[in-house]
Structure 1
């Protein structure tokens, strides 16, 4: 079973000088459709499709890294994900995707796994340290 919600990736080339990458060339599929950020309202059916596409991404060992409205394209009623982070799909990164879905779209995170609790703990610790330094919590 494949994953058909992503745009196809054809080529990644990099140019290095002294083992330092300074130029990337990426060739990816162009998807003609409507960006989610251009849609004024997102109904529950579309929110469900967005959640299903992120869940499928996670099941295939990938993460979005930044599931905001500009990274989803709607074509013929189907959701396509663009601009993946390319990072390894750890439990914390999957949890961050789910938390971001809740933040951006109001899609409730129903999975409270170790990655979720580690992410919440890390945020609380950072805010605690910021308050100790006299800075406002985020």
Structure 2
């Protein structure tokens, strides 16, 4: 018996609890914070969200290395070349803005017991994502994403 990616996502999404999922979208291909990166969170499942478009309900902060501070997500043309998925979060990362998988166009990440770096295999990076929180009892929801990621 085979299940489609859509069926697997729907099944996993039905078992979530209503807590915040968390990811960091990086402009670098190796999850380092040497360039602009974004911290994204939302209570409940995200649905299909496309980088570069309005992401209603998603809290977004952007790290600006030139000012060494967070600001609103303002940079046009941001390309997410790698994504750090936080503990207790599951995401499907897409190479297309339509959130359509198949033929290597998507990557399911999580749930993870810690932070996990997912790297895009193309210079175009990840175009869209769907994320949800898995209610990991060991996670402290108030804990921020790390400001330094060790490989």
What TM-score do you get using the length of structure 1 for normalisation? Answer: 0.25
Report the structure, 1 or 2, having the larger strand content: 2
Larger Rg: 1
Q: TM-score, normalised by structure 2?
A: 0.23
Q: Answer 1 or 2: which has greater helix percent.
A: 1
Relative contact order (alpha carbons < 8 A, sep ≥ 6): 1 or 2 greater?
2
